[in-house]
Chains A and B, each alone.
Chain A
Amino acid sequence: MNVFLTLLLDSLRLLRARVLFWITLGISALVALIYLSIGFTPDGMSILFGAFDFKSEMFNSQSPMAEMMYLGIFSDILVGFWLSWVAVILAIISCAPIFPDFMSEGSIGIPLSKPVSRLTLFFYKYIGSLMFVVLQVAIFCLIVFVAIRCRVGSWNPSVFWAVPIVTLMFSYIYSVVVLVSVKTRSVLAAILAGVLVWFLAWGMQKSDDFLYVASHPESVPNVAGMPSMIGSFGSPEEMMKWHKISSMAIFAMPKTGETTRLMDRLIQVKGAEGEADKSLVAAATEGDDEVSGRLKKASTRNSAAYVVGTSLLFEALMLAWAASIFCRRDY
Chain B
Amino acid sequence: MSMAVSIECLRKIYRGGFEALAGVSLEVPVGSVFGLLGPNGAGKSTLVKSLLTILRPTECRGTLLGQPIGHRSTLSRVGYLPEHAKFPEYLTGRQVIEFSAGLGKVPAAMAKRRTGELLERVGMADWGNKPVSTYSKGMKQRIGLAQSLVNDPELVFLDEPTDGVDPGGRIEIRKLIETMRAEGKTVFVNSHLLAEVEQVADHVAILTKGRIVESGKVSELTSRGRHYEIRTEGPVPPGIREKFATQGWEVAGDRVSIQAHDAGPVQPVIDALRAAKISIREVKEARISLEDLFLSAVNPDGKEASR
Contacts and interface: CB of A to CB of B under 8 A. Distances in A.
Interface of A: 1-3, 5-7, 9-10, 13-14, 16-17, 101, 104-117, 328, 330-331
B54 A114 contact: no
A16 B49 CA distance: 32
Indicate the member of B52, B55, B95, B102 with the most A CB atoms within 10 Å.
B102
Interface stretch (B78-86, B195-203, B219-227, B256-264): B78-86
B105 interface: yes
Contact of A115 (B55, B73, B101): B73
Interface residues of B, number: 38
A114 B103 contact: yes
Interface of B: 14, 49, 52-56, 72-76, 78, 80, 82-91, 95, 98-106, 108, 111, 147, 157
Contact of B86 (A1, A105, A114, A331): A105
Contacts of A328: 56
Given A109-B80, A110-B147, A2 B86 contact: no
B103 A109 contact: no
B52 A1 contact: no
10 contacts: A13-B91, A17-B88, A17-B90, A105-B84, A106-B84, A108-B54, A112-B53, A113-B52, A115-B73, A330-B56
A72 B99 CA distance: 46
Given A5-B102, A112-B54, A115-B76, A106 B82 contact: yes
Given A6-B99, A16-B90, A114 B104 contact: yes
Contacts of B54: 108-109, 112-113, 330-331
A113 B75 CA distance: 7
A114 B106 CA distance: 11
A107 B89 CA distance: 11
Contact of A1 (B73, B83, B102): B102
B88 A113 contact: no
A13 B95 contact: yes
Contacts of A17: 88-90
Nearest to A114: B103
A331 B103 contact: no
Given A1-B111, A106-B86, A331-B54, A114 B147 contact: no
A9 B53 CA distance: 25
A274 B90 CA distance: 49
B86 A112 contact: no
Identify the 3 closest CB pairs spanning chains A and B, nearest first. A6-B102, A17-B90, A106-B86
B75 A115 contact: yes
A330 B91 contact: no
A115 to B, nearest CB: 4
A115 B104 contact: yes
Nearest to A10: B99
Contacts of B100: 110, 114
A13 B90 contact: yes
A113 B78 contact: yes
Nearest to B72: A115
Contacts of A101: 88
A113 B56 contact: no
B111 A107 contact: no
B82 A115 contact: no
Contacts of B108: 1
B102 A113 contact: no
Given A116-B72, A328-B56, 20 more contacts: A1-B101, A1-B108, A6-B99, A7-B102, A7-B103, A13-B90, A14-B90, A16-B90, A101-B88, A105-B84, A107-B87, A109-B52, A110-B85, A113-B53, A113-B78, A113-B82, A114-B103, A114-B105, A116-B105, A330-B49
